[in-house]
Amino acid sequence: MPRSRPVMRPRMGKDSPMNLVVLAGGVGGGRFLLGVRAVAQAANTQVTAIVNTGDDVWLHGLRICPDLDSVLYTLGGGADPARGWGLRDETWTVLEELAAYQAEPSWFGLGDRDLAAHLVRTGLLARGLGLSDVTEFLCRRWRPGVRLLPASDDGIETHVVVAVEGRAGETRRLHFQEWWIRHGARLPALRFDYVGAEEAAPAPGVPEAIAAADVVLIAPSNPVVSIGPILAVPGIREALRRCPAPIIGISPIISGAPVRGMADRCLAALGVPCSAAGVGELLGARRNGGLLDGWLVDSADDPTTVRDVPVLARPLWMTDEAATQAIVVDALALAHG
Ligand code: GDP
Ligand code: CA
């Protein structure tokens, strides 16, 4: 595929800005957005990221939005690249003090610098601001260079239903964060519930951004717990299915395994094979009631087929920003056939 072709073909005049919408989770979504931002800056393109809120959780009286924060910190240049989450130059004094009080929960890593975002967010929410306004406020500090929208201002929490050990037939539910962090996703998940999603509405601006998009990209984020909760908000899937823009997904699974994290354990609960084809089929072809107009998989997964979806195989390792930019260029090339 020639790399010199125009990145995007404007629908209107060549000077009018293009609109690119990205559905994203946290760390994977944030890294992908670094590449999207770089491509967009060179192409008079505005980017709106619609970010998962299913990971959101109340801890120690604070509202914590792990995926929004990961995206904010990554794009704002504050993320710790080695740890993969949270802020660089972090200290842990408050966490140590909480441990001295034996304050629960103790399994969530709350850094001192990170705490500032949670304090500001919780304070603004208590004053009646919506999460999208709060996010806009946090963006004034981090200047992510893209418009960040939570999928919904209404609290959505992903819960995991697991079997109770030693008691046949009994189940219990726990917050996704507890399952993922405290238990390392080792308790076999029977089901994921996006609690609150049914009554939730898309955050202000979300349907409008989708309707005005020239291209929609589904980041290589966890399909079950990052992309799933976004699509569970009534109105978002419908807006995507209606939008005139092509929708291109990027596979988070390479050679049958998640690049990082435990998406395999999440997919298992849905009975979906942990493969580029499995996730492509889960998202489905737009013309068959699904979402995809194109599916980008890694070169190692060539040939992958997804029913009624054009598939392109290209390198999908986000090893650095240049590699991620190339992925975005390939996704846009697929979008324009
Ligand atoms: P989280 O919310 O912090 O877990 O992050 P996301 O859901 O946005 O992203 C996690 C997903 O990103 C995992 O399923 C990984 O397989 C995927 N991922 C991470 N790094 C890469 C990469 O370099 N290439 C691809 N294709 N996927 C990746
Ligand atoms: Ca997440």
User: Exposed, middle or buried by CB within 10 Å (0-12, 13-18, 19+), for 193?
Assistant: middle
CA of 17 relative to ligand 2 center, distance in Å? 30
Which of 226, 312, 325 to mutate for ligand 1's pocket (most ligand atoms within 8 Å of CB)? 226
pLDDT tens digits along 140-186:
999 999 999 999 999 999 999 999 988 989 999 999 999 999 999 99
Atom of ligand 1 nearest to the CA of 298: 26
Judge if 301 and 271 occupy the same domain.
yes
Query: Strand 257-258 vs strand 253-254: parallel, antiparallel, or unpaired?
Result: antiparallel
- Name the amino acid, one letter, at 306: V
Residues 187 and 274 grouped into a single domain: no
Residue nearest to atom 24 of ligand 1 (CA): 317
The Cα 146–Cα 37 span in angstroms is: 7
Asked if the structure places residue 114 within a domain, the reply is no
Overall number of domains in the chain: 2
Is a pLDDT exceeding 90 seen at residue 222?
yes
Atom 25 of ligand 1: nearest residue by CA position: 252
Q: In terms of domains, do 182 and 231 share one?
A: no
Distance 15 CA to ligand 1 centre (A): 34
Q: Is the pLDDT of residue 5 over 90?
A: no
Same domain for 231 and 269, yes or no, is yes
- Whole-number Å distance between alpha carbons of 83 and 80: 6
Question: Model's pTM, two decimal places?
Answer: 0.95
> Helices 27-41 and 66-75 meet at what angle, rounded to 10?
40
Domain that holds residue 172: 157-195
Q: Residues whose CB is under 5 A from ligand 2 (ion)?
A: 25-26, 55, 67, 226
pLDDT tens digits for range 244-292:
999 999 999 999 999 999 999 999 999 999 999 999 999 999 999 999 9
Claim to verify: residue 300 and residue 311 sit in the same structural domain = yes
Grade residue 15 by pLDDT with cuts at 50, 70 and 90: low
- Which residues' Cβ are closer than 6 Å to ligand 1? 24-29, 67, 70, 220-222, 226, 251-252, 254, 258-261, 263, 316-318
Q: Kindly state whether residues 161 and 34 are assigned to the same domain.
A: no
Burial label, 337 (beta-carbon count in 10 A; 0-12, 13-18, 19+): exposed
Answer whether residue 92 is part of any domain: no
